[in-house]
Amino acid sequence: MQAMVDASLKLVDSVQITELGARDGLQGLSETVDTQVRVTLIELLEIAGLSATEVGAFAPTSRLSLGTSPLPVLEALGHPPTDKVRSVLVPHLHALERAYVAGCRDITVATAASRSFCRAMLGCDIEESLHRIAQITEHAKPLGIAVRARVSTVIDCPFEGPVTPRAVAAIVAQLKQLGCRQICLDDTTGGGGPEAVGTLLHTCLMETPMHTLACHFHDTFGLANANVVEALEHGVRAFDSSISGLGGNPYFPGAAGNLATEELVYLLTGLGMHCGVDLPGLLLAGEYIDCMLDRRTESRVGRAMRAKIPSHGAIQQHNSR
């Protein structure tokens, strides 16, 4: 496999990472995270070199959010640098209007490849979710807003079981037709392995070029890194991840969080890929949010490297209180 990876990576050695910790990673917590903590986390992630972050969701009544508006975070952050993208999750047209007024010019829309999960996550069937996305993309284009789509349960559904690659590819084809700049395939349960990922990508390639696809892996069964390598071999050069492995799946008890950004960056670096992220800076961001949430990191890379690299002074000061 290593020879195959090396041969494929010579084609394009740059990988885009979309950081989800400040949105997907925090939304499932039982308590509301203070605005300043969220702002500081995003700032630390950007300082570490991450160029794309999801900062929140304009979905106060949606299952995608606990009702925490991203407005205070966006106001505190101010306009992003020209080399940074700060996106928000937008589930319907009204949310798009709110995002535009708030100055957002990059948004994420969501659907699922299984009906039961779509109903649980969005409160509607797949067809209705695609209709909403069509409305959003139609209005977003003249406003200069870029739309990224995420498709959940692309391999397995916690309610229905296995999902066929053709069902996913059909949704991908519709999202491409609607003008989504990127379509992210989300293995929501983390149940897929390299073989399933390879089959899925091969099938989706019949509907859209590989450069339009991204992958979002959970590490429930310890296969996230292997799945990243499989996706790289198929030409995928964009991945979602979450600092310190924050996040999870409220509909799948026992599911692990998102692939930790520390682990993704460590893997890509070891493969000779360029992602523009400073690992020590990333470790600081992870240690910061873990400290604020009083949690243990889910990242094995984070645990191992924190033992070698002294904590930042601000972290040490906080721990001494």
pLDDT, tens digit, 9 for 90 and up, residues 132-163: 999 999 999 999 999 999 999 999 999 999 99
Average pLDDT over every residue of 202-222: 95
Whole-number pLDDT of residue 245: 93
Residue 2 pLDDT level (bands cut at 50, 70, 90): very low
- Token code pair at residue 205: 């390639």
The whole-angstrom separation of Cα 199 and Cα 169 is 11
DSSP string, 192-217: --HHHHHHHHHHHTTTS-GGGEEEEE
Average pLDDT over every residue of 78-90: 93
pLDDT averaged over the chain?
89
The whole-angstrom separation of Cα 117 and Cα 157 is 7
SS3 79: coil
pLDDT, tens digit, 9 for 90 and up, residues 279-296: 999 999 999 999 999 999
Quickly count: other Cβ atoms within 10 Å of residue 42's Cβ: 27
pLDDT, tens digit, 9 for 90 and up, residues 166-178: 999 999 999 999 9
Quickly count: other Cβ atoms within 10 Å of residue 194's Cβ: 16
- Token code pair at residue 154: 């692309």
Burial 44-82 (b: 16+ CB within 10 A, else e): bbbebbbbbbbbbbbbeebebbbebbbbebbeebeebee
**What is the pTM assigned to this prediction?**
0.91
Q: Are 55 and 74 in contact (CB under 8 A)?
A: yes
Q: Are 299 and 315 in contact (CB under 8 A)?
A: no
SS3 222: coil
Whole-number pLDDT of residue 172: 98
Top mean pLDDT of 44-53, 75-84, 311-320 is at 44-53
SS3 275: coil
The whole-angstrom separation of Cα 72 and Cα 66 is 15
The whole-angstrom separation of Cα 314 and Cα 85 is 26
Which residue in the block uniquely carries the two structure tokens 């494929």? 8
